[in-house]
């Protein structure tokens, strides 16, 4: 039963911008929580501060009510799984999993019991006596997971554990890791740069960029309600267009795009749309699937100003279920996907893109 709190955590190396800046996070008991962001954004640094391998420059880390900021790593009760499994290749699975218990001088009977249980947790009970170098990459990663679980840590920390596996194995293993974590009910912090992996596995995701936190939310919310243009672009595909706020009030915000087009976005408490006022600059995120695509009947004039974007099809790609179009809109390349139907459009066709009113989402620039 462990809840992890990071309070105003900062990590600064001499002569560099902060690797982690003013980070506040609460990871709930039993939660599968993911730190997601591009390489160098501060994920490993954050995880290692929770483990105790790195000391924060500022701030506090608490496990439940206990301040562990100055507690040594081996007294924090965390289990860690790394990208390179860090196993002893010539030793058996059982010896690798039991290693941490030998160091802790656990009795032989207790050790056997706990190793068996950990191997069962990761589905490797039949491989107990196999040498590590006789296992596949995915199996080795499960051994590494069992080795972390065998000490029955209160917090499990995983740093890009699937990066060394090929795509198919990565998908299988992520489901296994999530299943094992859920069954064990153990608070887990997972690090990845792979947004699909984060979305598939996590209860909540924290998105970091250059040491700064952009958003913490469940996967669906991160996708449908990105807080910033960075999140909108990093998660899935999105068209992010700069805009100016014309009016904000009640349950909607009216914005104007560069070409004069006026769009309406929902105004939702606790999101950037609730904080903007007339004259502010912001951006709207439009997912590729948020538009209806209509052939432009050729009405005169440029931007209609009525919530429709007029453009020209640059490319058309049939992908099976949907057609994906790249549309030139005032020199911007918009990506649009619509279900395949009879009235397809082709490169060169003038089109009108009509965003579904509830799919226009206001983000911080």
Q: How far is the CB of 12 from Mg ion (least distance, A)?
A: 17
**If contact means CB under 5 to 8 A according to the sort of partner, which of ligand ADP, Mg ion, none does residue 13 touch?**
ligand ADP
Q: How far is the CB of 163 from ligand ADP (least distance, A)?
A: 11
Encoded tokens for 289: 């699937």
173 interacts with Mg ion by CB under 5 A: no
Q: How far is the CB of 41 from ligand ADP (least distance, A)?
A: 4
Nearer to ligand ADP, 230 or 291 (CB): 230
Q: How many CB atoms lie within 10 A of CB 232?
A: 26
* CA dist., res. 152 & res. 12, Å (int): 32
What does the binding site for ligand ADP look like in residue numbers (CB under 6 A)?
13, 16, 19, 37, 39-45
Q: How far is the CB of 197 from Mg ion (least distance, A)?
A: 14
**If contact means CB under 5 to 8 A according to the sort of partner, which of ligand ADP, Mg ion, none does residue 271 touch?**
none
- Report the Cα–Cα distance between both ends of the chain, in Å, rounded: 39
Nearest to 237 by CA among 286, 200, 191, 309: 286
**If contact means CB under 5 to 8 A according to the sort of partner, which of Mg ion, ligand ADP, none does residue 41 touch?**
ligand ADP
Question: Binding residues for Mg ion, how many (CB under 5 A)?
Answer: 1
Encoded tokens for 205: 């995701």
**If contact means CB under 5 to 8 A according to the sort of partner, which of Mg ion, ligand ADP, none does residue 307 touch?**
none
Residue 158's φ and ψ, nearest 5 degrees, are -130, 120
Nearer to Mg ion, 160 or 308 (CB): 160
Nearer to ligand ADP, 206 or 364 (CB): 206
* CA dist., res. 98 & res. 314, Å (int): 60
Nearer to Mg ion, 34 or 44 (CB): 44
Pairing of strands 262-266, 212-217: unpaired
Query: What is the enclosing helix (H) or strand (E) of 303?
Result: none
| Whether 269 contacts 347, CB under 8 Å | no
Residues 34-93 that bind Mg ion (CB under 5 A): 44
């Amino acid at each position: 039963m462990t809840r992890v709190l990071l309070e105003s955590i900062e990590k600064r190396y001499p002569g560099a911008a902060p690797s982690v800046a003013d980070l506040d996070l609460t990871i709930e008991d039993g939660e599968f929580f993911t730190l997601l962001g591009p390489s160098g954004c501060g994920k490993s640094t954050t995880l290692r501060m929770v483990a105790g391998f790195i000391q924060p420059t500022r701030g506090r880390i608490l496990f439940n009510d206990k301040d562990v900021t100055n507690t040594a790593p081996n007294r924090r009760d965390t289990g860690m799984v790394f990208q390179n499994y860090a196993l002893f290749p010539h030793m058996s699975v059982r010896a690798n999993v039991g290693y941490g218990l030998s160091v802790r001088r656990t009795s032989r009977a207790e050790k056997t019991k706990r190793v068996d249980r950990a191997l069962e947790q990761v589905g490797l009970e039949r491989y107990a006596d196999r040498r590590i170098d006789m296992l596949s990459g995915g199996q080795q990663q499960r051994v590494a997971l069992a080795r972390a679980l065998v000490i029955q840590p209160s917090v499990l920390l995983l740093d890009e554990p699937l990066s060394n596996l090929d795509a198919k194995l990565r998908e299988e293993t992520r489901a296994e890791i999530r299943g094992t974590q859920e069954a064990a009910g153990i608070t887990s912090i997972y690090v990845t740069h792979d947004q699909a992996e984060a979305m598939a596995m996590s209860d909540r995701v924290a998105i970091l960029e250059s040491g700064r936190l952009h958003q913490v939310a469940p996967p669906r919310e991160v996708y449908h309600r990105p807080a910033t243009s960075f999140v909108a672009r990093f998660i899935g595909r999105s068209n992010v267009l700069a805009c100016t706020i014309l009016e904000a009030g009640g349950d909607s915000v009216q914005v104007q795009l560069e070409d004069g087009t006026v769009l309406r976005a929902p105004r939702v408490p606790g999101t950037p749309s609730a904080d903007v006022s007339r004259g502010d600059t912001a951006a709207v995120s439009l997912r590729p699937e948020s538009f209806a695509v209509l052939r432009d009947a050729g009405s005169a004039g440029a931007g209609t100003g009525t919530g429709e974007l007029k453009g020209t099809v640059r490319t058309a790609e049939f992908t099976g279920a949907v057609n994906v179009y790249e549309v030139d809109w005032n020199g911007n390349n918009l990506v649009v996907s619509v279900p395949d139907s009879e009235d397809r459009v082709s490169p060169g066709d003038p089109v009108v893109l009509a965003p579904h009113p509830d799919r226009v989402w206001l983000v911080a620039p």
